[in-house]
Structure 1
Amino acid sequence: MRVFVVGANGYVGRHVARAFSAAGLSVLGSVRKNAAQLSEELPGVVLRQMPEVDELAVRRIVAESDAVVIAAQLNLQEENELYRRFIAAMDGSGKTLIMISGTSVLTIRSGGAEDSRRFAEDDPFSPLPWLIGRVDTENDVRTSAARGVRAMVIRPPLIFGNGGSTQIPLLFESVRKTGFACYVGEGLNRYSYVHVEDLAELVVAAVARGTAGALYHASVGDIPSFRHLAELIAQRFGCQTRSLTLDEATQLWGKFSAHVGLGGNSRTLAPRAMRDLGWEPRRLDISSDVLAGPYA
């Protein structure tokens, strides 16, 4: 099987490409620039330099692969257009398309307060207005199964490990910018989490054994709280923690991160991923990783 990873130079994309290569598959990947240099970091992966994944590039990717995994970070409009092109190019082919989305679509805004609600793969929920477009794209991908596309959606929560993440570096950034390890409000809000290598293994399992039209969560548990992560970072740097109002957090991290990524709750369960794909995540200790990992 030939697998193409769109965005193979990104944090998630690199790990996904390596996992497919380790599983013995033929792996290709797209990068926007520096393909020759990045090839040294991804041995066994054939990289294509594609400044833009336009319709011609999509047709080429589909023609030379059996499965496509989109790991690139895009804005909602770019994302919707890209998936529309891939679905059209794969129509009736039976080829596999994997969308790596995220559990931010399930976020409950709380300003740092705890919320006990959790969502399994197909539990009903009402997405935030900012994220309705992403849910629409998820639904377009999943319903393309009726058009002969073996399409699936994977939602990772907070991703950590090997020095990469979205949310954790923002907490480290608060120390650099303010001298304090910051959190929002009470800091009792929680996200579920997954190590990036466990996520990559789930993607490989989905390509091998996943069901067309399925949605899989990639959650292994919940962080104790964002305040707990801030306290670990304060311990690491020998500084104090600090609570921020939403306005202060927005000034520091931007509106989306303040209200959703660091100020809300997104707690998820992954029964379908574990039951149907036999996914067994093994890297569970996020606290030790924040204390000792190379985020700084």
Structure 2
Amino acid sequence: MHVLVAGCGWLGSAIARRLLFEGQRVTGIRRDPARAAALASTGIAPLALDLAAPGAEARLPAVDAVVACQSATSDTPEAYRAAYLDANRALLAHARRCGARLVYTGSTGVLGQSDGLDVDESSPPMPLGPTAEVLAEAERAIQAAGAAGLGACVVRLSGLYGPGRAGIVERVRSGRLALGAGEQAWMNFCHLDDAVSFVLAAIARGAPGAVYHGSDAAPARRREVVRWIADRIGVEPARATVAPPGPDRRVLSERTRAALGVTLACPSFREGLIPLVPEVRRA
């Protein structure tokens, strides 16, 4: 296959590397020309392109599959619309023209449920705020394309972490992630290696218009995460009197793992963080 990876950053590059390892051809898109050119050294054919710009579609090569994992340049609704609506329109139009499959890496952030209950692939989006509203609109566009006959689907990814992205450890170390108020809230994770597996499985076996959950098998309470990390790095957990904002829900992925045939490398945050966080040796 020839696969177009739109947004060849931290996640996109990992997807591209796995595809190359499996013997596929990959073209990777970055907005910045220098960052795009750097992809060539890894075997990825580089393409410097702003997918939200007029005429972007005309510069895209013929491919068999598209992975839409581009990110916004800032946290404003305008930047989100450019990245997740305008760019996806160009990618969907190109996929139709090529007869290519398309996988959009969405976010479980569209699930703003705060009642502490379970949410699965059939749970309705409850976006909290204007940027999450844009993400929900992007999902609807992908689902509509799937319903119209295009092989397009959504993979919602939970809190991503892995080599090069383990900021949660520093949040515990600095006290920004603490015990106390809000410690009962659920946290949901997906290791980079598993995120790649979910996306590649969706390319191969995803149903048109489907929504999948790329999340591990063991959502954890915030207190469990904080205590485990604090003990491993040898610090006393901070305590908070005000709960941080954000949703509170257990993101389930059993249905997705069964449908796509995905076996997790990191069933919980512990397996994923152990190689990234050296344990403090105590006397």
TM-score > 0.5 by shorter chain: yes
In 1, the alpha carbon distance for the partners of 2:205 and 2:2 equals 15
Query: Given the two structures, how large is their TM-score scaled by the length of structure 2?
Result: 0.82
2:264 paired residue among 253, 275, 281: 281
Instruction: Call closer, same or farther: CA 1:293–1:24 in 2, change over 3 Å.
Output: same
Amino acid at match of 2:250: R
Corresponding position of 1:154: 155
What are the residue-to-residue correspondences of 1:259-270 with 2, within 5 Å? 259-260=245-246, 264-270=247-253
Instruction: Call closer, same or farther: CA 1:124–1:17 in 2, change over 3 Å.
Output: same
- Contact preservation (8 Å) 1:94, 1:148: no
Instruction: Call closer, same or farther: CA 1:64–1:53 in 2, change over 3 Å.
Output: farther
In 2, the alpha carbon distance for the partners of 1:93 and 1:147 equals 15
Instruction: Call closer, same or farther: CA 1:231–1:174 in 2, change over 3 Å.
Output: closer
What are the residue-to-residue correspondences of 1:110-189 with 2, within 5 Å? 115=116, 117-130=117-130, 131-164=132-165, 168-173=166-171, 175-176=173-174, 182=178, 185-189=181-185
Structure 2: 5+ residue stretches without partners = 73-78, 279-283
Q: CA deviation at 1:267?
A: 1.7
Instruction: Call closer, same or farther: CA 1:245–1:104 in 2, change over 3 Å.
Output: farther
Q: CA deviation at 1:72?
A: 1.8
In 2, the alpha carbon distance for the partners of 1:65 and 1:90 equals 8
Instruction: Call closer, same or farther: CA 1:55–1:2 in 2, change over 3 Å.
Output: farther
Structure 1: 5+ residue stretches without partners = 250-257
Partner of 1:76, secondary structure, is helix
Corresponding position of 1:222: 218
Amino acid at match of 1:27: V
- Contact preservation (8 Å) 1:189, 1:225: yes
Q: CA deviation at 1:172?
A: 0.9
Identify which of structures 1 and 2 has the higher relative contact order when contacts are C-alpha pairs closer than 8 Å and 6+ apart: 1
Structure 1 stretches of 4+ with a deviation exceeding 6 A read: none
Q: CA deviation at 1:132?
A: 2.4
Q: CA deviation at 1:294?
A: 5.5
- Contact preservation (8 Å) 2:191, 2:272: no
- Contact preservation (8 Å) 2:114, 2:248: yes
In 1, the alpha carbon distance for the partners of 2:249 and 2:255 equals 18
Partner of 1:140, secondary structure, is helix
Partner of 2:153, secondary structure, is strand
Instruction: Call closer, same or farther: CA 1:17–1:266 in 2, change over 3 Å.
Output: farther
Corresponding position of 2:46: 47
Instruction: Call closer, same or farther: CA 1:235–1:288 in 2, change over 3 Å.
Output: farther
- Contact preservation (8 Å) 1:93, 1:148: no
Instruction: Call closer, same or farther: CA 1:181–1:272 in 2, change over 3 Å.
Output: closer
Instruction: Call closer, same or farther: CA 1:289–1:87 in 2, change over 3 Å.
Output: closer
Corresponding position of 1:101: 106
- Contact preservation (8 Å) 2:172, 2:230: no
223-232 or 189-198: bigger deviation: 223-232
- Contact preservation (8 Å) 1:205, 1:277: yes
1:77 paired residue among 78, 81, 88: 81
Instruction: Call closer, same or farther: CA 1:184–1:222 in 2, change over 3 Å.
Output: farther
Corresponding position of 2:76: none
Partner of 1:194, secondary structure, is strand
Instruction: Call closer, same or farther: CA 1:186–1:129 in 2, change over 3 Å.
Output: closer
Identical columns (%): 24
Q: CA deviation at 1:279?
A: 1.5
State the number of aligned residues: 269
In 1, the alpha carbon distance for the partners of 2:194 and 2:271 equals 17
Partner of 1:69, secondary structure, is strand
In 1, the alpha carbon distance for the partners of 2:59 and 2:148 equals 20
